[in-house]
Amino acid sequence: MRPTVLFSLALGSALALAQGPLHANQSPLPTPDAATAATPTPDLPVPRADVLSAPNVAGTAWILIDHDSGQVLAGHNIDTPVHPASITKVMTSYIVADHLAHGRIKDDDAVFVSERAWRQGGAGTDGSFTALKVNDSVALEDVVRGLVVQSGNDASIALAEHIAGSEEAFADLMNQYAQRLGMSNSHFVNASGLTAEGHMMSVRDIATLSRALIHDFPEHYKLYSIKEYTYGGIRQYNRNGLLWRDSTVDGIKTGHTAAAGYCLAVSAKRGDQRLISVVVGIEGGRNEAFRLREEANQALLAYGFRAFETHRLYQAGQAVATPELWRSADDTAQLTVASDLHVTIPRGRYDDLKAEMVMPPVLIGPLQAGQEVGAVSVTLAGEEVAQVPLVSMAEHGGAGFFRRVWHDILLLFE
């Protein structure tokens, strides 16, 4: 295994981005930009807030994450599988959005309302429904609004059957998507969230899915901010009461079954920072539980926005370093981060961040565009809070025979 070397990276003005070979005393300087949307990154450690403590909220499990960095800011039982109730429909919605984006389905598709969709998810049940008529054909965009705004179980089943042929086949698709998104503590049996053996999600997975939905399909996500929806002459209201109480909230999803209790996943954006909170398992009477699940999410969001700030340190596609490159036709290689690197830290701690670039002491060509050559690691008080691969920005071909021989000779003295 080739040894690696650590280069310290200063955090400050972007004007000093390295333009030549990188040495230990010549460091690229990223800009502490306000956060912008980023490619989802792995879960990261929980940073310590210096002044405020996380609230003790109601619920059997809850979590608060930053959307851009993905960092967990607070939580309780975050990896415990629980009954998710209608929060399940966020996955149904995600799959619908993905199929629309790839042209597999269209907004004007005629969605057939089967007897199963009507009987198991319609007015004859004790769950939420969109009032779709059995054996009717409804425009897909209307069914999707019924799914997102009204949380219709009938809409969920109808869409599942439209996409996959049956709800069982759609559940298999849901599990494939969950695996792709890294939702390791989730398993889906149906498209609606009605209680079923083995149908579970963790609050971390709910937050991960919500983050992916917001990032991957921002136009589709706008449906989650709709407060009411009329179909068939019936006005139906979004059950997320925070849409009325907090102007910064623009989603995400409520849920309730006897097994799950009352649940709520919320996202809010204030300035350039977006947070996601999830609270599940609140018990009590309907009105009281509605109040408790909204207050719990409000408390988490208030804590997160007061205690933490998010910065984009490095932007994908911008040169982070240009180290010397050996055995290549090019003298140097331009390196960038594989995805935007965001960090979420306690407010006022930006100057305490330290960044290091980990890469081989001698970089050998040829290199392919996007080839991983190392990593950028960011720490706060000795604890890693972010890491992202370091990759080649372009293809760098191999050296010719005589140049390669000359480099081999020089490398004997490196």
In sequence order, what are the residues at sequence separation of 6 or more whose Cβ sits closer than 8 angstroms to the Cβ of residue 408?
327
89 is catalytic: yes
Average pLDDT, the chain: 86
Q: What is the pLDDT of residue 406?
A: 81
Q: How far is CA 203 from the centre of its chain?
A: 13
What is the 3-class SS of 98-111, one letter each residue?
A: HHHHCCCCCCCCEE
The yes/no answer on whether domain 5-30+315-411 falls in CATH 2.40.430.10 is: no
Has residue 109 got a pLDDT over 70?
A: yes
Q: Which helix (H) or strand (E) holds 128?
A: none
Predicted pLDDT of residue 21: 31
Domain ranges of the chain: 5-30+315-411, 61-310
CA distance linking residue 62 with residue 278, whole number of Å: 5
Q: Look at residue 41 and tell me whether its pLDDT is greater than 70.
A: no
> What DSSP letter does each residue of 335-380 carry, written as one string?
EEESS-EEEEEETT-GGGEEEEEEE-SS-BS-B-TT-EEEEEEEEE
- Residue 404 confidence (pLDDT): 75
Residue among 55, 91, 294 at smallest CA distance from 179: 91
- Position 11 scores a pLDDT of 53
Q: Residue 5 above 80 pLDDT?
A: no
Question: Going edge to edge, which strands form the sheet with 61-66?
Answer: 72-76, 61-66, 273-282, 261-270, 249-257
Catalytic residue, chosen from 27, 69, 128, 151, is: 151
Residue 397: per-residue pLDDT: 86
Active site residue 137: no
102-129 per-residue burial string, b: 16 or more CB within 10 A, e: under 16: eeebeeebebebbebbbebbbeeeebbb
Among residues 27, 86, 156, 202, the one annotated as catalytic is: 86
Q: What is the pTM of this model?
A: 0.85
Query: Does residue 151 have an active-site annotation?
Result: yes
Is pLDDT above 60 for 34? no
Task: State pLDDT tens for residues 49-58.
Answer: 555 678 889 8
Rounded to an integer, the average pLDDT of 69-76 is 96
Per-residue pLDDT, averaged over 308-326, amounts to 92
What is the arithmetic mean of pLDDT over 25-50? 41
Catalytic residue among 27, 69, 89, 192: 89
Residue 129: pLDDT band by 50, 70, 90 thresholds?
Answer: low
| Rounded Cα distance, 370 and 392, in Å | 5
CATH topology for 61-310 is: Beta-lactamase (3.40.710)
Residue 344: which of 390, 389, 387, 386 has the closest Cα? 386
Least confident of 20-29, 169-178, 310-319, 396-405: 20-29
pLDDT, average across residues 268-277: 97
pLDDT at 326: 81
Q: What is the mean pLDDT of residues 9-17?
A: 36
Q: 5-30+315-411 and 61-310 share one CATH topology?
A: no
Q: How confident is the model over 306-319, as a mean pLDDT?
A: 94
